[in-house]
Amino acid sequence: MIPLSGSADVTLRVNADGIIDDAAFGVALAAESADSWIGRPWADTVTDATRAKIQRLVSDARESGVSGFRQVNHTMPSGSEVPVEYSVVRVDASGGLIAVGRSLLVVSDLQQRLVSAQQALERDHWRLRDIETRYRLLFHRSPEGIVVLDSSDLRIVDSNPAAEELLQFTGETGPSAPRTFDRFFHVSDRVRVRNHLFRARDTGRSAPLVVRLVGHAEPFELRAALMSGDADPLLLVHLGQGGAAAPSAEGGIDLGDLFDRIPDAMVFIADDGEVLRVNRRFLTLVELRAPEEALGENLSRWLGRPGADLTVLQSMVRRYGSVNLFTTHVLGEFGSSTEVEISAVAVGDDASRFALLLRDVGRRLGEHRPPSRELAGALEGLSREIGKTSLKALVSRTIALVERQLIADALEMTEGNRTAAAELLGLSRQGLYTKLSRYDLDSSPSG
C-alpha cells in the first residue's frame, strides 16, 4: 500500500466502492482530523450540491486513468466548509484511486473580498447619485439666488433660476460669454465684492456682506463659502434679500469700508457678549486670521479679566449711555497682552447691542496719574495725626481707608455684583466677603 504524503492540502486513497481507506491533510488544514473520514464514502464528506462532481471525478479517473480538475465543497470534521479543487488518479486495476486536492480558502476569501468591494462601490455610487439628485433639486428650487464661481477668476460656473432672475442674465454659456460675477453689482461695490470673495476663498467662508445689485434699489446680503471641485476649488455664493441698509453715507463715503480700515479695533457685540462683527484691526489685536473665527464667540474670551471687564463695561453703558477711557488689556490667541482703552456705546433703542472701540495705549499707560480726590482728602486728614499717633498706626489706617474706598468703587462699578467685583479686585469671593464685613459694606447683598 502506497503511503500518503501530506504535501498536498488533502490526499485521499479511495477504493473501488468509493470508500476512503486513508486520508492525510496538509499544513493548510492541519487543525482538522483526517481519521474521522476513514471508512466513510467520499461522497458523504462533501455538500449535497457537489456530490455529483465526486461521481464525475471517479468516473473520469476509471475511464482514462486521470481526471480533470473539479472543485467541491467539503464539510470538514470541525464543521466548517472548505472549497477544495481535486484531481484523481487510478492506481491499480481493481479501481483504487488517489485523490489529490488543493484548498481554495485563500481564493474564496479573495473572491468574497472582491464581491464585497464591488457591492460597496455600487452602494457608494447610488448614494452619490442620490446626494447629487437632492443637491440639484434643492439648488434649482431654492428661492434664494445661488451661484457657483470659479475661485481663481470669479467667473460663473453654475447658477439656479432664482439667481438668473435676480442678476437678470439668461445663463449664457461658452468661453466667450461675459460671466464675470462682479459685473452684476453697483460700480461702487465691485471692489468690495471681489475682495470679499477672495477673502472667502483664502479663509473658507466669510461674514455676510450687504451689497447693491444693478437694476435693484433694495440692498442684498451676499454670503460665500469655499467648496471643493474636480480641479480648482469653487465658491458657493448666496444672494438674499432683507439685508440692512447699504453701508454708505452722504458724499459717497463707504462706511462699511471705513469700518474695516479704521486703525483702531472695533467690534459689535450682543447683550450676552456674543461677537457680531469685527474689523481687521480687531483680528490683529486678538491674533486671528478671519472674521469667522471671532463671530459667535464671547468678547470676554479676549479680555484680561473675563469675569469682570465686560460686566462692568456693559453696566456702565446701560447707566450712562456711553463709556470712555475704560482701561484693561486684551489677550491674543498666541499669548500676547495689549493694554487698551475701550470706548463703548449702546446700539438700538433697546440697548441690546454694543459698539466698542479698543485703542492700543500700551506706550503711554506708564504716565503718572494724580490721586483721586477721596484719596487726597484721606491723606490730608491723616497728616494732621502726625505726632499724635505712631507711624505704624497711621499706615494701617491709611491702608484700611484706601482698601475700603477701592472695594466700594468696585461694587459701584459692578452694580453690586460681588462675583464681578471680586474678580475686578483680584480677590476670592470669600476674601471679599471678609473685607465687606470688616468695613461694614455688606448691607446690600448681591450675586
Domain ranges of the chain: 10-103, 142-244, 255-364, 374-438
CATH number for the segment(s) 374-438: 1.10.10
**Which DSSP state fits 93?**
T
Place of cell 464675470: 180
CA 149 to chain centre: 23
Q: Rounded distance, CA 37 to CA 75, Å? A: 11
Superfamily of domain 142-244: PAS domain (3.30.450.20)
User: What topology is assigned to 10-103 in CATH?
Assistant: Beta-Lactamase (3.30.450)
Residue 221, classed as helix, strand or coil, is strand
The pLDDT of residue 79 is: 80
pLDDT in the model for residue 447: 53
According to the 3-state scheme, what is the secondary structure of 33-48? Answer: CCHHHCCCEHHHHECH
User: CATH 3.30.450.20: does it fit domain 255-364?
Assistant: yes
- Please choose, from the candidates 409, 393, 413, 414, the residue with its C-alpha nearest in 3D space to the C-alpha of residue 441: 409
pLDDT under 50 in the chain at which residues? 173-177, 243-251, 365-369, 445
Strands (E), 271-387: 275-278, 322-331, 337-347, 353-360
169 vs 61: CA distance, rounded Å: 81
Same fold, 142-244 and 255-364: yes
pLDDT of residue 5: 54
Alpha carbons 53 and 321: distance in angstroms, whole number:
97
Spatial separation of the C-alpha atoms in residues 292 and 288, rounded to whole Å? 9
- Determine if the pTM surpasses 0.75: no
Angle at CA of residue 152, ends 150 and 154, nearest 5°: 50
Other CB atoms within 10 Å distance of the CB of residue 92: 11
